[in-house]
Structure formats: structure tokens, C-alpha cells
Amino acid sequence: MNASLAQRLADAVGPENVKTAPEDLAVYSFDAYSEGKLPAAVVIPSGTREVSAVVKIARELGEPVIARGAGTGLCGGAISVDGGGVVISFARMHRLLELDTANRRARVQPGLVNLQLSQQVASSRLFYAPDPASQRSSTIGGNIATNAGGPHCLSYGTTVNHVLALEVVDENGDVFTTDVDDAGYDLTAVLVGSEGTLGVVTSAWVRLLRSPESTRVWLAAFADIESASAAVSAIIGAGIIPTALEMMDAVIVKAVEAAFHAGYPTDAAAVLLIENAGFEDEMDAYEAALREITRKEGSLSWRAARTAAERDALWAGRKGAVGALGRVAPNYYTQDVTVPRSVLPKALRAVEVAASENDLVVGNVFHAGDGNLHPLLVYDKRDRRQVGAVLSTGDAILRAAIELGGTISGEHGIGYEKREAMTRVYSTEDLATMARVRDVFDPR
Ligand SMILES: Cc1cc2nc3c(=O)[nH]c(=O)nc-3n(C[C@H](O)[C@H](O)[C@H](O)COP(=O)(O)OP(=O)(O)OC[C@H]3O[C@@H](n4cnc5c(N)ncnc54)[C@H](O)[C@@H]3O)c2cc1C
């Protein structure tokens, strides 16, 4: 550890906001995907000026900078892969700075937890739409960096559709701003999803939506995954875009029901959790149309949540699905691929074959309306055979998705996990073009 680095960082943000002891650094050496190496230092700045100072110091001393939100990322983007580097944690930059109800927007610091934003604007009958299943802990900064999706992004769009302006610290430590209303190139959209490779986001204006008058949630159960997948295609094909359309298979349903007791049917091979938000007087017709489509595709049962508590319980099950799998095995690996909706049954079969060939249990819980699969491979990382099996199953799923016309990430990002896999879907020229974009922002 470079003593001058520690001293200069301490001068910039206060010694209590710089961590250099190995036991403190260890906390920042992993994310929800994997464990990396120890960074040289972790700093916890209080505002943009301090972030700028930290980046300038890191640059001068030749240390890379790694931005970090809540560390829920699933591709290793927030960790030091080779060891060293300065991690900037946004744990102290977590405030809602301005609420502009007239224009339905809010200016937030990057460390604000996603769900807390919606909670803080709820009394103004507003909410922030992108809702990753990690929304109780993931931050707006991390969501912007990964262009996070979530169950409600089927109808509302992913994070990129909800970011209006950004304040960013560049590789020199200089501050610049972007705004979607700027004439010329839409640099805001370029920055969203760039996983911290183009700059560090220090604040953002985000779009807020009016809370709907009415929200209904339904659960359709199926005897097999194929008919549930066919129902998804039929719903969207009929021109109906529910606010959310999520699928869970039997492995997930059993784990979720044991954990949440929300009334999920444990004898079903697959369930669709369907939500629609809108005007109350449209809801009955909407439900009738959905129910008829699912019936035609062979649904076993249809259930409507009768109360807000029932609705919340069903959603708690969906959003807590990953945690509930802790009942099945101590570790999990989530693959994240997207395929055209029409080939969902083929993709799910490929997942099943890959897992069974490697003797692994797989659960599927995913944003079916978007064709975004999240096969969850459960395993015990103390068993080397199982670790190897998870890696080869994950790879087989990636290969299958590409062969079916899909791609290597729906929403979790590339990080260091999928850097190599980029060559499977992009040509050398494509990657060189991306590198040129990066050079504009950060040539070093
Ligand atoms: C149980 C579970 C469920 C999940 N469900 C979903 C889901 O439904 N949809 C989804 O999209 N993802 C999901 N994820 C993945 C993860 O939560 C998202 O990628 C989330 O956006 C990461 O936010 P974070 O604050 O944890 O960021 P981190 O993990 O800390 O960082 C993620 C990336 O963002 C960069 N970054 C962080 N802050 C900044 C900043 N201020 N400026 C520049 N770069 C920055 C980091 O360098 C890193 O590359 C899930 C994860 C878990 C564990």
C-alpha cells in the first residue's frame, strides 16, 4: 500500500472515510457474483467535489478507480480483479437532493437505494419505475451503470428510459453534465449501462411516474413450462402489454412458498405472475382477456389477489426468490441471457438439458415478457465438482442463447464475468468501435 496514496486520500475526504486495513478492504473485495482481490484503498466521499479530488489523486498515482454502489452486481463489475485500485463507495452519497413534482422528476445522489426513492416520493403519488429484484439494496448509481431492468420494465422500459440528466466525474477528475434535452449526441444514453467504464456518476435527474389509480395482480398456473411460455407469447402477440409478466418454475415456486407462504401452487410446473396497473374501470376487461388467453394455452388455474396484502405477498415471493433458494443449497449462480420470446420453450429446454447433463438443480425465475432468462444454478461451492459443473452449465446456456438468436446479457451486465464472451457476439471491428468510444471518455 502506497503511504502517499493513503495520506492524500485522507486529506481529501477525512481519514475516517478512507479504509486501507486488509480486514476493511476484504468487505469490498467481492460482489454478488464473485470474490476479487483486495483494492489498495476504499474511500467514502460525501459529495461531487470529494469524488473529483479522489479521482485526481488516483490518476496522479496511477491507480485505477472502481465505483461501487451496494455490490449486488452479478458480473463482478464493482471489484478489483487484479488487486489494487481505489474503490469509491457511494454509501455516504445517498440523498434525494431535489423533488420537482411539477415536472415529475428527482435529482438523486448515486448511493440512494432504489426502493427508498419510491418510498420517499410516494406521498406525492409518484414512483420510480425501474425495479430490479434487488431494489431493497441496489443503488440508483449501480442501476444507471448497469442499465438495470426489473419486472416492471416490460411496460415502463429499463433504467435508460428513466434517466434525464447526469453529473459525471471523468478520468481527469473533471465534472461534466449531460441532459437528454441537449442538442446533438445523446451522451446520457451512452453513459447509462457503461458499467463505470466511462466515468463516475455523482448525481442524476431521474423520471418519476404517477402512481396508478389501480393495480391488479394475477397468478396463472401451468402443468408444463411449454404452455406457460406459449401463454407469454400469446399475451404479447394479442397486443396486451401487462406492467409485469414474470415466470417461475416448480423449483422456484416450492422454495418461495416455503419461505413466504403466499399461496403459490406447489403442484404446478410453472406459474405466471401477471400485473396490470392503470384505471380501475379497465381492469375487469383486462383480466377477462388475460384469463381467456391463458385458458386457451392450457392453464390449470387462475387466481386474482383480492387485497393489497395478497398482492404484496405474491410480489414478495417473486422478489425474494433468489434468497428463498438458500433453502435448497448454500450457493447459487445466476445466468442472464436474452432470447426472442418465440423461442423461450427451446431456450428453457436447453437450460434443463445443460443442468441435468451436469447433474445440477436449476430453478427458473425470470422476466418472461422480455425473453430475459435467469436460470439459477444451486450448488455448494465447497464441492469442486459442483463448481466445475456450474461453470460448464453456465457456458452451455450462454451458447444455447446465442444459437437461438439471443445475447449474452439481458440486464446484469458484462463486468469481468463476460468480457471474454463479448467476442462470441461481436466482431473484432465491433469491439474496436466500442473501444474508440471508451477512448473518448477515458483513453488511459
Ligand atoms: C438477488 C438479486 C436480484 C437481482 N435482480 C436484478 C434485476 O431484477 N434486474 C437487474 O437489472 N439486476 C438485478 N440484479 C443485479 C444488480 O442488483 C444490478 O446490476 C444493480 O443495478 C447493481 O447495483 P449496485 O448498487 O449493487 O451496484 P454495484 O454492484 O456496486 O456495481 C455495479 C456496477 O456499477 C458500477 N457503478 C456503481 N455505482 C456507480 C457510479 N456511481 N458511477 C459509475 N459506475 C457505478 C460499478 O463499478 C459496477 O460496474 C440482482 C442482483 C441480486 C443479488
Ligand 1: centre distance to CA 73 (Å): 4
Q: What is the pLDDT of residue 334?
A: 94
Q: Which of 280, 306, 323 lies at the terminal end of a domain, its last residue?
A: 323
Query: Tens digits of per-residue pLDDT, 220-256?
Result: 999 999 899 999 999 999 999 999 999 999 999 999 9
Q: Considering only CA atoms, which residue is closest to atom 49 of ligand 1?
A: 77
Output DSSP code: residue 382: T
Long-range contacts of 184-190 (CB under 8 A, 24+ apart): 188/163, 188/164, 189/160, 190/437
Strand partners, 203: 167
Instruction: Please give the residue range of the domain that contains residue 56.
Output: 3-89
Q: How far is the CA of 221 from the centre of ligand 1 (A)?
A: 31
The answer as to whether 238 is a domain residue is yes
Strand (E) or helix (H) holding 66: strand 65-68
Question: Residue 172, CB half-sphere, CA atoms under 13 Å: how many?
Answer: 7
Residue nearest to atom 9 of ligand 1 (CA): 132
* Co-location of 170 and 245 in the same domain: no
At 437, list the grid cell. 468510444
In a domain, 443, yes or no: no
Do 180 and 271 belong together in one domain?
no
C-alpha cell at 4: 502517499
Q: Are 204 and 140 in contact (CB under 8 A)?
A: yes
- When computed from its CA atoms, the radius of gyration of the chain, rounded to whole angstroms, is 22
Secondary structure of residue 343 in the 3-state scheme: helix
Contact 373, 410 (CB under 8 A): yes
- Which pLDDT tens digits describe the chain residue by residue (444 residues)? 677 999 999 999 999 999 999 999 999 999 999 888 999 999 999 999 999 999 999 999 999 999 999 999 999 999 999 999 999 999 999 999 999 999 999 999 999 999 999 999 999 999 999 999 999 999 999 999 999 999 999 999 999 999 999 999 999 999 999 999 999 999 999 999 999 999 999 999 999 999 999 999 999 999 999 899 999 999 999 999 999 999 999 999 999 999 999 899 999 999 999 999 999 999 999 999 999 999 999 999 999 999 999 999 999 999 999 889 988 899 999 999 999 988 998 999 999 999 999 999 999 998 888 889 999 999 999 999 999 999 999 999 999 999 999 999 999 999 999 999 999 999 999 999 999 999 999 998
**121, 205: one domain:** yes
Residues 339 and 277 in one domain: no
- In-domain check, residue 425: no
Please report whether residue 246 resides in a domain. yes
The answer to whether position 186 is within a domain reads: yes
**Does the beta carbon of 109 sit less than 6 angstroms from any atom of ligand 1?**
no
415 located within any domain: no
Q: Which of 323, 340, 370 is the last residue of a domain?
A: 323
| 435 within a domain of the structure (yes/no) | no
**pTM for the full model?**
0.95
103 and 84 housed in the same domain: no
Q: Domain containing 119 — which CATH number?
A: 3.30.465.10
**Rounded to 5°, angle at Cα 371 from 367 and 372:** 55
- Residues 219, 315 within the same domain: yes
Half-sphere exposure of 50 (CA within 13 A, CB side): 19
Answer whether residue 117 is part of any domain.
Answer: yes
What are the phi and psi torsion angles at 163 (to 5°)? -105, 125
CATH number at residue 242: 3.30.70.2190
Question: Around 323, how many Cα atoms within 13 Å sit in the side-chain half-sphere?
Answer: 11
Report residue 59 CA to chain centroid gap.
29
Gap between the Cα atoms of 440 and 444, Å rounded = 10
68 lines ligand 1 (CB under 6 A): yes
54 and 109 co-located in one domain: no
Q: Is 371 in the pocket of ligand 1 (CB under 6 A)?
A: no
Assess whether 126 and 190 both reside in one domain: yes
Residue ID of nearest Cα to ligand 1 atom 53? 72
Q: Do residues 38 and 107 both lie within one domain?
A: no
Q: Give the whole-angstrom CA distance, residue 7 versus residue 53.
A: 13
From the CA of 417, how far away is ligand 1's center (Å)?
Answer: 14
Q: Please indicate, yes or no, whether residues 358 and 389 belong to a single structural domain of this protein.
A: yes
Do 194 and 222 fall into the same domain? no
93 Cβ closer than 6 Å to some ligand 1 atom: no
pLDDT one-digit tens code per residue, 188-216 = 999 999 999 999 999 999 999 999 999 99
Which residue lies with its CA nearest to atom 13 of ligand 1?
A: 132
Final residue of a domain: which of 64, 89, 114? 89
Which residues are CB-contacts of 400 (< 8 A; sequence separation ≥ 6)? 347, 350, 351, 354
CATH of residue 392's domain is 3.30.70.2740
- The total of structural domains in the chain comes to 4
Query: What CATH number has the domain bearing residue 83?
Result: 3.30.43.10
